[in-house]
Every structure is written in C-alpha cells, then in structure tokens.
Chains A and B, each alone.
Chain A
Amino acid sequence: MKILAVSPHLHSGVTTRILMRDVLIALTPAFCAAVYFFGWRAAALTLTCATTAALAELLAAKIFKKENNIQDLSAVVTGVLLAFCLPPSLPLWMAALGSFFAVFVAKELFGGLGCNIFNPALSGRAFLLASYAAYMTNWTRPFDAVTTATPLAGAAIATVTSAAAQSFNSLASYKELFLGAVAGSLGETSALALLLGAAYLLLRRVIDWREPFSYLASVAVIMFLAGQDALFHLLSGGLLLGAFFMANDYATTPMSTRGKLIFGLGCGVLTSVIRLWGGYPEGVCYSILIMNMFVPLIDRLDEHKK
C-alpha cells in the first residue's frame, strides 16, 4: 500500500489527546491538594464530574450522529475543571447536572470541541450558581468541614465595613493561602499546586503565557492602585485556577498574541471590578465568561492586518 498525501509528511506527534492528557497531569497536584484538604468528597466530586462529562459527550455524539471524540479527553478535562470550581459540600447529583450542562449544552450544542463560545466548565459553574445559589456558596473549612466564609468573602465584608488592609491577614495568612489551607472551591485553594501544574504546562508549551500573565498582572496592578493587598488577591479565590486553566482554554480565547493580551487584560479588569464593587466576592468565573463573548471581536482585530 502506498500512502499518497499532501506535504508535510512529518508531524510533531502532539495531538489534541496529548494536550488534554498534559492538562490532566497538570491538574493532578491540585487534585491531591483538594483531597488532602477536603477529604474523600473532593475525590468523589471530581470523579462524578469527569464521568458525567464523558457520558454527556457520548450521548451528544449519539444524538447528533457524529463521531464521538471521547478519546481526545477534552470532556474529561472539562469535568475535572468544573469539579475544581465547586464547593466541597455540593451534593453529587448537582455536580453531575452541572457537568452535563457544561459538556452537553455549553460545548456540544454549540458544535463540539473548538466551536463552543463559552468555557464549558465555567458555564457549568454559572449554571449551578444560578440554580442552587445556597449550595454553591456553602463553603467549608479544610479538614473539619465546618461552614465558614472564604477569605475573599470575608475580605469583601471587611471592605464594606471599611476595615484596613491588615484585617485581610487575620482572615488567612499568605502561607495558608499559598498552600491552600483555606475555605474555597475544591481545586482553587492551593496556589502552590496550581502553580506546579501551570509550570508543567508552560514548560510543555501546552499553554501560552500571555493570557495568564496579562490577567494576573492587570489584577495585581488594579488592586494595588485601589489600595488593596495585591498579593492577597492574586492568591485567593479562583484567580490562579482561572488564569492558568480557563483563561487560556483554546476554544474560547483569542488566537493572536495581541488578542491574548487583550483578553487577559479584560478578564483582569472585570475580575477586579467585580471583587471591588460587585455583588459577588469572586469574579473570575463571570469575567472569563464575559470576555469569552468578545473573542470573535478580538480575533477580527488581527484578521485583516496581514
């Protein structure tokens, strides 16, 4: 058998599946941290989300009569990422529903991998937050699962009561924030674990440095200018998870260098605005979703240039 094909006849060997596998590997430290801090529920939630996501992908393939792309692992990544931005106390069936929404509605109904407008995991989270607000904001302390406020929520209250920046530090020390021993979503609390994963992805050139950089930098600068504790804001909430794993999701972010910087900047501004003056203590999820809508526009900036 002779293979006739158009050049090039070589391939880098890096396929979608390998990229997604790398993302899963990069999420492993955060997963371990989640299980360490929040116990078996963290594992159960992650497993539930990943499984439901995969099943939703299969179902979509069956309904829409297309080849199923389950082997490219993108659905599993979506499921795990969704689990990482859920509170540890969330009932499993809610997680499953959110995961189904993420993959079936936010991704497959829009045409599947690469065609979706909104980040599927964050869409799933937004769906759950809108539907089950009480459950989605029921934060528990690490280790003993006692209900408490997240450091950011505490900071938001502190800001409202015009407390000084020092009072943040009483909520959670930098060390606790860095290691992840604070209340929050499953996978977002441990900055250390997330940075490890991000470093792996950057080294493997799976993700681009531009979106996370402009995202984190703009948040830091705005928080600094607003007289807030910039480092606290960088380490707390879902910012690191969002910046490294969601603000550079391939399908829902711009493709050009400039576009990526603009996208990160937009996310940073929106996150800061929501955190400082918005009704929610945390703004990562909605900032990225809002910026997702601007992606076609940002992409057009560079289309005609060349």
Chain B
Amino acid sequence: MHSDYKKLTRDSAVTAVPAPEYLYVPLAQHIGAPAKPLVAKGEHVRRGQLIGSTDAFVTANVHSPVSGEVVEQLRIRNPQGNYVEALKIKNDFQDELDPNLPHYAPPSELSTEELRDIIREIGLVGMGGAAFPTHVKVSPPRDKKVDTLILNAAECEPYLNADYRLLLEHPEEVVTGLRLLARAARAVWVVAAIEDNKKDVIAGLKASGIEEFARIAVLPSVYPTGAEKVLVKKTVGRQVPPSGLPLDVGVVVANVGTAYQLAVSVRTGLPLLERVVTVSGEFANPGNYLVRIGTLYQDVAGLPENYGQKDYRIVSGGPMMGFSVSALDIPVTKATSGLILLKARVFTEAGCIRCARCVDACPLGLLPYQDRGMEYCMECGLCAFVCPARRYLVQNARQYKMALRSKK
C-alpha cells in the first residue's frame, strides 16, 4: 500500500547540503539525561568539538556540527512540542575541524571495551526515531545476556528512504558498522532484516562481506515490519514482553543510520554531526539530503519555497508515527529521519461502524476500537490508517496509556 510513497525519493541520491548560518543544537536529542553545555556564550567552537556531555549513564554526547561562535544558550521546541535547552551556533563557514579529534585504530583491531567507549564518545543514538543511546544498548546489565543483533533495514514507514539510500550507496560502511556493533554488543548471531521491496541492496551488502558474519532475513514489506517488537518476532521468533525492550529477550536492534555512522566515525574520528533526512511529501522534487544536526526545519534544503505560508501538514519523521509540527523553528536532531509535507486536510471522526478493520490491522492483535489492552499499543497507527470512520484511535490509545501511567 505504501510503495507509491516510497518511489518519490527512492532514486534520489543523498546530497550533502551546506550548513545554514545559524544552527540550534539541542542538548537533549536522546532518551535519557540531557547533556550539560561545556561551552559558554561567545566561545569559539570547531566542527566535531564536544559541546555537551554529562556523567549519567543513559545519555548521549553532543558535538558542534560546524565551526563558529556560540551565540547563546536558549530553549527551543523539539518536534514533540516540548521545550529543550539548545546551543545556538553562528556558522563561520570555515568547517574548521577540532584539533582534538581522536584517531581510532582500524576497525578490525578494536576491542569490545574500546568500541563501547567510542560509541559513547561520538554520541551515537538509535537514528530511526527513538534516539535511544547506543552505548546503553550494547552494554547490557549483568543479568541480561545479549546473543543477537538485528540490523533494522526494514524502514517500513511510507515516504522515508534515508536508510535505503545509505544501504544502496554505502553498503561497505553499513556492513563495517554492523560488524563493530556486533562486537560491541558481544552478539553471537547477527541478522540483517530487509523488507522485500529493498532487495536491490542485498547484492551490495553481500559484496561487502555481510555473509561472513550475518544472516540476511528478507521480510515482506508490510508496515509496521520495522517496529522493534514486530521485527524481533519476525526475524528470530522471540516475543518481546508488552512493556519490555528487545534486550529482555537477548536482542539488540540497530538502525542502518547508526551502523553507518559508527563506521564513518571510526574511520574519520568525526562524531555524529549530520544525518540523512528524506524530504518528501506532496510537492515537486522531493529528495534525500545529508543535513547537519541543528539545522532548523525552515533551512532544510529541498523544501518548496514559502512552504511555511502554504497549507501543509508538516510531519517530522515518518507519516505513520512522526509528529506534526506547529512551527518551522524546530531543529533537525539525531533522530529526524524525514520531513514530510502533506496537504492540509482536516477530518472529523464519525461514529464507529464496528467494521473490525482496526482489529484485523493491529499487528499486536489488540482491539483498538475499545480501550481494553491498549496499554501494549506501540502507536504504529495502522488502526487509524484503515478506520473508515476516521476515528482518533491512536490518540485514544495514547490518552489511555497516559491515564494509566498517571494512576500508577
């Protein structure tokens, strides 16, 4: 059902775009403790310099994506609509590299401990959308044993092609990154899960030697194959507990962008500074761009002119689970996989006709038309997608979960 959406940017090569004049780098782009700023107003920063960090375990480092001057520390909205601390950096367009950038040993010589440190240093997070710090994922607590690493190359969200393009253009980096992640997580089995609409990337992966250490699992391209729990179930047949993590069944799931970034960082010493963003939707000339973290949505390349004034629903992330944003002064973060512009259509919900489409659609076998059991909902949005009455099923599930949480 989604193949048409993907086609829009499927063949558009990732284009690196120049950074804008001002960047707004949030100190909390990830799940966990926000980083503390390490630079003060007026200070000169260089590309790749560590500008935010904290001692907490569940956190991620933040680096300056450009060289320039820290203008101020301010609060800025993130896609979810919350205000977070951010550093505003004035780009001097020199892209002067930080002289303290490390030089890492060749990939084959890095040990598990070294890799875990590197992953933490470069501020690596899950780049699929959740932004869970990767070093936490690959360093499981003593009582949990990880034996399997799954590369999530399903990318099932409509419109998005960021991962697909990386797989196609840089299979060798992705494979190297996957190898390093497997070593970091001490995984015994590695599986690359790919949807069958991306079969053309398999050749590249094989040529890069993925079969030396990993199995390729081709999954049917049905949304939401890429949702962690669904993916784990489909590739290794393990059922993640309803409110648990893949870690609970000994699995670590890594995003394509994350693997790619790790390989690049180990090769160049540069931390996570930019990412591939699919800019697509209902407008002409959509594309995939390599965008610096901290670029405001209004400065993102490839968007139609004056789109801020036009009637659009602007979605950060994929259209099924992403957030629609109210303004354009929101920065691209490590987790921004796409920026989707949809024509503004307003719908009101009609009465439930009990057609049971939501029940048939739900990948978890829940009953979305009623509240019961919805605490397990992962908000994939399929129920609302198929609902002929356009009921706000995901919204209801969220409210239900929130009410449940506040009761506890």
Contact = CB atoms under 8 A, between A and B. Distances in A.
Interface of A: 1-12, 14-16, 18-19, 69, 72, 74, 112-115, 208, 250-253, 255-256, 260, 302-304, 306
Given A250-B355, A306-B365, A12 B350 contact: no
In this complex, the member of A2, A4, A304 whose beta carbon has the largest number of chain B beta carbons within 10 angstroms is A2
Contacts of B394: 6-8
Given A7-B384, A69-B351, 20 more contacts: A6-B324, A6-B394, A6-B398, A7-B321, A8-B381, A9-B313, A10-B5, A10-B319, A10-B320, A11-B390, A16-B389, A19-B355, A114-B389, A115-B351, A250-B354, A251-B353, A255-B356, A303-B370, A304-B372, A306-B365
B359 A255 contact: yes
B310 to A, nearest CB: 9
Given A250-B356, A255-B356, A16 B350 contact: yes
Contacts of B350: 16, 69, 72, 113
A208 B372 CA distance: 24
Q: Which bracket fits the contact residues of B?
A: 35 or more
Nearest to A111: B351
B311 interface: yes
Contact of A2 (B314, B351, B398): B314
A8 B313 contact: no
Contacts of B323: 7
B346 interface: yes
A12 B319 contact: no
Contact of A16 (B324, B365, B388): B388
A4 B384 CA distance: 16
A7 B320 contact: yes
B380 to A, nearest CB: 8
B322 interface: yes
Contacts of A5: 313, 324
B15 interface: no
27 contacts: A1-B344, A3-B324, A4-B326, A7-B323, A7-B379, A8-B319, A8-B320, A8-B385, A9-B324, A10-B342, A12-B385, A15-B390, A19-B355, A19-B388, A72-B350, A74-B353, A208-B356, A250-B354, A250-B355, A250-B356, A251-B354, A255-B356, A255-B367, A255-B369, A256-B359, A303-B367, A304-B372
Nearest to A116: B354
Nearest to B317: A7
Contact of B388 (A14, A251, A303): A14
B1 interface: yes
Contact of A306 (B158, B352, B367): B367
B247 interface: no
A114 B158 CA distance: 31
Interface string B341-365: 0101111001111111001000001
Interface in B270-291: none
Contact of B340 (A9, A18, A113): A9
